[in-house]
Chain A
Amino acid sequence: MSKKNKIIIAAIIAILLCSYIGFAIWNVSHTQVDTGIPKNAIPVEIENSHIETIICKINVKGTVELIKSETLFSRTSATVEMVYVKEGDQVTAGQLVAEYDSKVLENLQDQLAEAKLSLKSATLNLKAAQTALAGQDKRKLENAGIAYDKAKLLYEAGAITKQEFENANEAKIDAQEQLDNNLSHISILQVTIEQNELKTSQIEKEIENYTLLEYAPCSGTVLASYIKKGDLVVPGHQLFDIADTSLNNLTITAVVPENEAKNLALSQDVEIRCTAIGQTIFKGRVSKISSIATKKQIGNSQETALTVEIRCEDAPLKAGYTIDATIITKIIENTVVIPLMSTMRDADSHSYVYIMHEDYSVEKRLVELGEYAGIYVEAGNIAEGERTIINPSAQVKEGVFVKPVAIRKPEN
């Protein structure tokens, strides 16, 4: 191949290469121009501000609880002979619920009879001792005294021997000792009588308090039974929990964190959902708000919270159910909202958003945020239809150009 041909071929190849690259540049540029978006615009997600009615809600979890319940306690020591109700049974006030063994009562009655006999016996003994003391013992002492006085005169006159005088003296001392012994015996008998009286009184009281039968203190459902046949109970032993389980006696208790409590008020509407019942949403109202906030366990953390009671009159709730409640605190109609994800805060804690204009340029604008509604927030200083940039990156600044990107939403 001649040098000239080589040069021609090389030139043709070079022209073809340059043409290819030139066409490629034109082709790529043409594609970019068609979209109208400036080169190197930062891709962003855009959402238009829109008019919406904001329903301010507080979502809480709650538990259905009984307003009032009765606990029946044993008043005596006894063995349970029969239990007539079990957990879940319906009872009426005064209904027999349990019966005790009568052996203990019979035993008490025997003890009472025995104590009474002992008391009677002691009383008779005392009487006999007092009679003896008043008659025979005193006379014996007086006679011994007279005999001693006589023996003393005779001994001093030399009419009797010393031995006879000492015998008279001993007889007087014996009479005195006997009298003293009888006095002591009387005292002992008096103490015995007092003891017997106390014992009798105690047994009588036990018999008086003793109840063979236990009755329901109120109408309702037996929530818990703590005894079974053969159990030994003592006074104060817990027997049954009984409560009225109708809606009148049920309330829902929930805790509201302090940061959400500002709009909370009595009689606010509540939407109640309970998985145990189904998907139906029931209506309720806030019936009570605690006057003090306390530390409560909410989720995995301890938070200062208010306890709120909610009354619901049409749901087939049962005590112990867990419910999800939505307290509707405020309704703001027809206001401009923007996505919460588009809002940011500067160093001075001012909220702002980035707005994309028609020419894809970005404007940073301060906004006044109002009430929150799910993923949206009420925004002042924003007109309906303005395009806010969601979750703007650090590259997004006032004056830069952005490229709105259609987000592929997850399929649910």
Chain B
Amino acid sequence: MDMENNEIFTIVEDEVQKMSFIQRLVSLFTAPVKLMQNIKYYPKIAAALLLCMGLSLLTLPFVSKITEITTNMMSEIMLIRYGQDFISFMESTQAAANNPQLSAITTASTTLVLLLSYPLMCVIKTLILFIITKIAKGMATFKQYASMYAHILLIAVLGSIITTSIMAAMGTLLDVSSLAAVFMPSGNFSMIPYNLLASISLFTVLEIILAGIGVKEINGFTNRKAIIVVSIIFILSVAFTTIMAGSSVYMMDLSYKALGYQ
């Protein structure tokens, strides 16, 4: 029985031609089904992941601006909620930022975090998808999913470059590709509905569609089953992002009380 399966697999594999990395990149936008079929038989990770890491460094010039905007926003929230200026607490940090040596260390650590974030994201997303599809009796391997996400994350990197540059130019922390930019532009992350809308962006939707195609093609799932799996992933992802954004305000509340303020 196993021998028979292997033979069928070998025959189909022969029918799916190998694609170069460039072809894969083009297919990501023009023929995602074809790309996912290719990943099923040729699950390559390194090139896509390295490209993700390299592209992620393009956001580096905007980091300081985004940090400044974040600090201002935190400060405003702290002022409104507690009557205390967050920036005042950070004066020592700012003084340290003026030190060239410390500034170099900060830049190096930011670069390192940027470089590592996408491989880490790839591993976590792959693991979650792998567990969920295993429950749904999927046949895909961890490597196939890792390859799939290595390619899908290119969309996330592109989205990140586009939105970060726009955010820095506009002086806002609001992701212009998110639903919050249209439906709740004056909100901030102390509001749960805002966090919910901000966690749903065009690029995350695109990612989830590609993941759905991948789950269907790699596992041979029906459309319905693939939709259910990616819906679970999407809901988990949105819930996690919303909770994390909201928890930062909750943590501020806790810290404020722990410091003895009322």
Which residues of A are at the interface with B, using a C-beta cutoff of 8 A? Answer: 6, 10, 17, 20-21, 23-25, 27-32, 39-45, 391-395, 403, 405-410
Q: Does B91 contact A (CB under 8 A)?
A: yes
B23 at the interface (CB under 8 A from A): no
A393 and B181 in contact, given A39-B171, A406-B80, A408-B80 (Cβ under 8 angstroms): no
Residues in chain B near residue A27, CB distance under 8 A: 181-182, 185
**Given the interface contacts A17-B202, A391-B85, A408-B81, does A24 sit within 8 Å of B176 by beta carbon?**
yes
Q: Considering the complex, which residues of chain B in the window 57-100 have a beta carbon less than 8 Å from any beta carbon of chain A?
A: 68-69, 72, 75-76, 79-83, 85, 87-88, 90-91, 94-95
Known: A42-B72, A395-B87. Is A28-B174 also a contact (CB below 8 A)?
Answer: yes
Whether A45 contacts B79 by the Cβ 8 Å rule is yes
A44–B177 alpha-carbon span in the complex (Å) = 29
Chain B residues touching A, majority SS? helix
Among B29, B87, B91, max chain A CB count under 10 A is at: B87
Number of interface residues of B (CB under 8 A): 34
In angstroms, how far is the closest chain B Cβ from the Cβ of A245?
Answer: 42
User: Interface of chain A, helix or strand or loop or mixed?
Assistant: mixed
Which residue of A23, A25, A39, A405 is within 8 Å of B80 (Cβ)?
A405
Determine whether the beta carbon of A40 is less than 8 Å from that of B88. no
Q: Which 9 A-B pairs have the closest CB atoms?
A: A24-B181, A393-B87, A43-B76, A39-B171, A24-B176, A40-B171, A394-B91, A31-B185, A407-B83
Complex Cα distance, B120 from A48, in Å, reads 51
Asked if residues A28 and B176 are in contact (CB atoms below 8 Å), the reply is yes
Contacts of B87 in A (CB 8 A): 42, 393-395
Interface positions, chain B 84-119, Cβ under 8 Å from A, are 85, 87-88, 90-91, 94-95
CA A407 to CA B58, docked complex, whole Å:
38
Is residue B258 within 8 Å, beta carbon to beta carbon, of the partner chain?
A: no
- Among A10, A30, A407, find the residue whose CB has the most chain B CB atoms closer than 10 A: A407
In the complex, what distance in Å separates the CA atom of A394 from the CA atom of B89? 10
Are the CB atoms of A45 and B85 closer together than 8 Å?
A: yes
B185→A393 contact, CB < 8 A:
no
Q: Is the beta-carbon distance between A25 and B88 smaller than 8 angstroms?
A: no
In Å, the complex CA distance between A408 and B83 comes to 6
Q: Is the CB of A394 within 8 A of B95?
A: yes
Q: Is the CB of A43 within 8 A of B262?
A: no
A405 partner residues in chain B, CB cutoff 8 A: 76, 79-80
Known: A403-B76, A408-B80. A391 touches B181 (CB 8 A): no
- Contacting residues, chain A, for B82 (C-beta < 8 A): 408
Quick check: is B186 within 8 A (CB to CB) of the other chain? Answer: yes
Complex Cα spacing A391 to B86, Å = 11
- Least CB separation from B179: chain A residue: A24
Chain B residues with CB below 8 A from A10, complex form: 29-30
The residue in A393, A406, A410 that gathers the most chain B C-beta atoms within 10 A of its C-beta is: A393
Query: Distance in Å from the Cβ of A405 to the closest Cβ of chain B?
Result: 5
